[in-house]
């Protein structure tokens, strides 16, 4: 059940899945706190929400920088007090051979995909406990369940995010806080389009052929739309999806 006071913090809200989630939640009257590195993109999303009579606030933050996260969470809690919904959506999704995976890249991948969600959750949980109500939704990936070549850093980070989600679900459910992980297959985002372009360059296939190849790897046979993920987030928050389903795979 949504409350008039519900406020959602969404990371990676400037584009793709994060933008879709922000627009979807705002359309249901939820105040949205948009967090991302790109100021221009965030402001565009904020302005779009406000133009539709929604409430939105934009905050720039480097999710690989712990000090940046601490500063923005302190500001968010000071300005909005209790934040009832946390959607950890921001993530990196690049791949390299293991021998070409630098320590710096590994650190950035885990900082963005695991440490940032942990830090945001740690900062917001006390307020959720006090309110005896809250939702934490982590956008993971089917890479949290499987492994694939050249994805050592990415798969490790998404496995870790799923582990974090399951641990928090067990720890926090007695306080009225629901934690869930959504694990999508291939989603139509800028990252996916970059992958399709790489396939075209390597193989000489057309864009349509490359996209069809990736779509075939999803069980549905199609590329998932960001709006599909946004609808799942809302279903979790409105409890249309039973609380027992803490791991939600979508392909």
- pLDDT tens by residue, 99-153: 999 999 999 999 999 999 999 999 999 999 999 999 999 999 999 999 888 889 9
3-state secondary structure of 71: helix
234-249 average pLDDT score = 92
Could you say which of 59, 146, 150, 154 is catalytic?
154
CA distances for 175 relative to 125, 126, 135, 170, 186, angstroms: 10, 10, 11, 10, 34
In 3D space, the residue among 219, 231, 225 whose CA is nearest the CA of residue 188 turns out to be 225
Whether 251 and 142 have beta carbons less than 8 Å apart is answered as yes
Residue 146 appears among annotated catalytic residues: no
12 — pLDDT class (breaks 50, 70, 90) = very high
Quick one: tokens of 179? 């934690």
Q: Determine the Cα–Cα distance for residues 69 and 117; give it in Å rounded to an integer.
A: 10
Task: Examine the pLDDT at 196 and tell me if it is beyond 90.
Answer: no
**Whole-structure pTM value:** 0.93
Integer Cα distance of 175 and 157 in angstroms: 27
Rounded distance between C-alpha atoms, residue 22 and residue 13, angstroms: 7
pLDDT at residue 65, as a whole number: 97
Average pLDDT score over residue span 187-192: 80
């Amino acid at each position: 059940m949504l409350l008039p006071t519900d406020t959602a913090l969404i990371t990676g809200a400037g584009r793709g899945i994060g933008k879709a989630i922000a627009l979807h939640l705002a359309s249901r009257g939820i105040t949205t706190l948009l967090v991302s590195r790109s100021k221009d993109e965030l402001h565009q999303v904020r302005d779009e929400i406000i133009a539709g009579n929604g409430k939105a606030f934009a905050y720039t933050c480097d999710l690989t920088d712990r000090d940046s996260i601490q500063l923005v969470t302190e500001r968010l809690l000071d300005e909005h007090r209790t934040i009832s919904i946390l959607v950890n959506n921001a993530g990196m999704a690049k791949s390299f051979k293991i021998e070409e995976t630098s320590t710096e890249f590994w650190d950035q991948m885990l900082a963005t995909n695991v440490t940032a969600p942990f830090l945001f959750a740690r900062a917001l949980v006390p307020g959720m406990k006090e309110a005896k109500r809250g939702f934490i939704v982590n956008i993971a990936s089917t890479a949290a369940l499987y492994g694939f070549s050249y994805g050592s850093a990415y798969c490790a980070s998404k496995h870790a995010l799923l582990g974090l989600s399951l641990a928090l679900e067990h720890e926090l459910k007695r306080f009225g806080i629901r934690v869930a992980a959504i694990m999508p297959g291939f989603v139509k985002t800028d990252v996916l389009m970059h992958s399709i372009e790489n396939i075209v360059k390597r193989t000489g296939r057309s864009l349509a052929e490359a996209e069809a190849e990736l779509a075939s790897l999803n069980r549905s046979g199609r590329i998932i739309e960001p709006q599909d993920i946004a609808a799942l987030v809302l279903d979790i928050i409105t409890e249309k999806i039973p609380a027992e389903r803490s791991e939600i795979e979508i392909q």
